[in-house]
Amino acid sequence: MDNIAQSYVHGASTMPLLSDTIGRQLDRTAAAFPDREALVVASQGVRWTYDRLRREADAFAAGLLALGLQPGERIGIWSPNNAEWVVTQFATAKAGLILVNINPAYRLQELEYALNKVGCTALVLAPSFKSSDYLQMLQTLAPELADCPAGSLRSAKLPDLRVVVRLGDDKTPGMLNFPEVPALADDGHRAKLREIEASLQFDDPINIQFTSGTTGRPKGATLTHHNILNNGFFVGNAIRLTEGDRMCIPVPFYHCFGMVMGNLGAITHGACMVIPGEGFEPERVLATVQDERCTSLYGVPTMFIALLNHPDFAHYDLSSLRTGIMAGSPCPIEVMRHVISQLHMPEVTIAYGMTETSPVSFQSAVDDSVERRVSTVGRIHPHVEVKIVDAAGRVVPRGTAGELMTRGYSVMRGYWDDEELTRQAIDAGRWMHTGDLAVLDAEGYCNIVGRIKDMVIRGGENIYPREVEEFLHGNPKIRDVQVFGVPDKELGEQLCAWIILKDGEEMTQAEVADFCKGQIAHYKIPRVVRFVDAFPMTVTGKIQKFMMRRAMIDELQLEEQKTA
């Protein structure tokens, strides 16, 4: 079989990979465009130039060193989108600290696991967000905060955590306020920061992002400067980003979409990051695009659907928009067409990837036909390889479905402190097994046709049912449980649970929800629950989730969502 007929593509490119660390890239951009706006957060009164952003990052980085943090240590951030998140992202990169992104939707159990799994020495957190009281949750896990000096925590449940930095003006026992940190540094700390920056290598790990897995516990995908800086750069190139662009970024920073494709895409091109608010609010996004004359807009399909269906949509002037990226979950074809025509985004692109690959592997081009952009995820990214293989690991012919595997600069270092799971994900040839089923056509365009794993994508959030199943198994009334996705018009998919109760027990759907609340993220709580006597199985005892899904589609009269 010749190469042309095989499902293998590589992103040959004359554009070299960047060889800088994230800190050096920020310095380079600030030197080139010192007076150009870098960060706008209207809700916080922030309107910073690149020179100001660089100075803020340097000052906070030196303050972290003054607190005794050492290169290679992990510092968590648990916060919605704000200026402090951006400062922390670049300050940690400059100080050689590994930034640990903690999902704003996490609850007690998940927070404790994440902080301890990677051994976070420090944590930056917002006081609260939506229904989550972050301060209260942390104080529940570490009651020692009430009596310890700020920066000197010794907690039984969080043994590695020493430093807690909170956002906002109020004082909390045992915690420093964010603005206090830079003031701790002296000339010696600033000199040490310069020494550290000079010693950092682009292959050093700099970011850990948790992604749920079939083991039932989140896995810490460990990414380097080289991984994420280059991915941000090439994502930006694909939408022809320049220093004249103003990027509206309503997607969360804790995810690669916000902090890599958004923030790192911006600083590698000198573009402006425009943050509409802490979380996604359709009206605020529309107003921000209008008021700031944004030229690009990022979002998952559900965000674009919410914008297009806002009752005041027609009252906003969105004519400044040119481009953007839709990613995170399959894109409904009609939504893509409306985004192009009604949101004035003729050059919008689709991107596909996964956290473990920094994230993007495929992206459509701004000059691809509309048909290509609504029916595929585009072509391979520069400097990345992809092959599609059958169950035996053999490359399949073009036009044949198989598992998509990725190799190149973008593949993570591995899962933090988990060699076995890393070996399962990345084989001896450094190929990342994505678990996604895909087809490559003759011209190299890729179509994602399904998932080998039973992952559920709910509004851009990846949910692995095994994790939810294992949690629900902790309920004393439940004998067995199976969790799977069912179609949902708004979110793409919703979570459904089939539960077998122990003999003599009774339970309601409300009890299931109450058991989950405060313990697992809201989006992991099953929306539909059925109590059953048995699960459909094969003769060999293998549970058939597809039969459960089909039964629920019939019972609830649901329709499969047509996607690109």
Q: Is residue 372 part of a domain?
A: no
pLDDT grade, residue 463 (50/70/90)? confident
**Residue closest to 236 by CA, chosen among 263, 209, 275:** 263
- Rounded to a whole number of angstroms, the CA Rg of the chain reads 23
- Cα distances (Å, whole numbers) of residue 226 to 205, 358, 425: 9, 10, 20
DSSP string computed for 442-475 = TTS-EEEEEESS--EEETTEEE-HHHHHHHHTTS
Other beta carbons less than 10 A from residue 319's beta carbon: 10
Q: What is the mean pLDDT of residues 278-293?
A: 97
Q: Encode pLDDT of 333-343 as tens digits.
A: 778 888 999 99
Q: What is the chain's mean pLDDT, rounded?
A: 93
Question: Is the per-residue pLDDT at 540 higher than 70?
Answer: no
pLDDT at residue 328 greater than cutoff 90:
no
End position of a domain, from candidates 177, 211, 245: 211
Domain end residue (candidates: 211, 235, 259): 211
Rounded Cα–Cα distance for residues 204 and 96 (Å): 8
**Distance separating alpha carbons of residues 501 and 529, to the nearest angstrom:** 12
Task: Compute φ and ψ for 195, nearest 5 degrees.
Answer: -65, -45
Tell me the residue range of the domain where 467 lies: 456-556
pLDDT of residue 436: 86
How far lies 128's CA from each of 253, 258, 397, in Å?
A: 16, 20, 51
- Point out the domain boundary residue: 211, 245, 261: 211
Residue 318 lies in a domain: no
pLDDT tier, 136 (very low <50, low <70, confident <90, very high otherwise): very high
Is residue 381, in this structure, part of any structural domain at all?
A: no
User: Does the pLDDT at position 34 exceed 90?
Assistant: yes
| Band (97; pLDDT cuts 50, 70, 90) | very high
Residue 178 included in any domain: yes
Q: Sign of dihedral through CA atoms 100, 106, 110, 112?
A: positive
Q: Does 539 have pLDDT greater than 60?
A: no
Residue 426: strand, helix, or coil: strand
Domain contains 483: yes
When pLDDT is cut at 50, 70 and 90, the band that residue 4 belongs to is low
Q: Answer whether residue 135 is part of any domain.
A: yes
- Tens-place pLDDT, residues 40-80: 999 999 999 999 999 999 999 999 999 999 999 999 999 99
380 belongs to a structural domain: no
- CB of 321 within 8 A of CB of 294? yes
For 477-504, the pLDDT digits (tens) are: 998 898 999 999 999 999 999 999 988 9
Provide the number of structural domains found in the chain. 2
Q: Which range, of 371-385, 448-462, 488-502, averages the lowest pLDDT?
A: 448-462
User: In this model, does residue 562 exceed pLDDT 60?
Assistant: no
Q: Is residue 363 part of a domain?
A: no
pLDDT band at 305 (very low <50, low <70, confident <90, very high): confident
CATH number of the domain to which 111 belongs: 3.40.50.980
- Residue 511, domain CATH: 3.30.300.30
Contacts of 449 (CB under 8 A, 6+ apart): 401, 437, 438, 439
What is the pTM for the complete model shown? 0.86
